[in-house]
Amino acid sequence: MPALHLVSASPNGSAALQSCLRCAADDDAVLLIGNGVYGAVAGPFLRSTRRVGVTRWFALEADVAARGIRGGIAESVTLVDDAAFVDLVTTHQPIVSWS
C-alpha cells in the first residue's frame, strides 16, 4: 500500500517538503496542509518537484482558501475537502507527517 505524506510546514521557512520528496516513493501521495499549502503555488511547485517521481499531489482546500492562494495553485495539485482527506488517510499506509 502506498504511503501518504502530510506536509504542514511552509517551504519558505522549513525543509519539510524537500525532506519529504527525498523519501517519497513514486506511488506515494503527498497532501499539503496548513502552511504546507504554500508548496502548491504553481511556480515554486514546478521548480521543487520537476525531478520527483511522485505524481499524486493534494492540498487541503480549506487551507488554500484561508491563505488566499486558490488561483495560484499548480494544475497538478488536486484540492480536497475534509472528507477526501479522511479517504486518503484510510487508503494509505503508513501516514508520514512532515513539519
pLDDT at 53: 77
pLDDT at 86: 98
70 by DSSP, 3-state: which?
A: helix
* Cell (9 digits) for 24: 517519497
4 by DSSP, 3-state: which?
A: strand
pTM: 0.93
Cα 31 → chain centroid: 3
Domains in the chain, start-ordered, CATH in brackets?
Answer: 4-98 (3.40.1260.10)
Report the alpha-carbon distance of residue 55 to residue 10 in Å, rounded: 20
Mean pLDDT of 51-78: 92
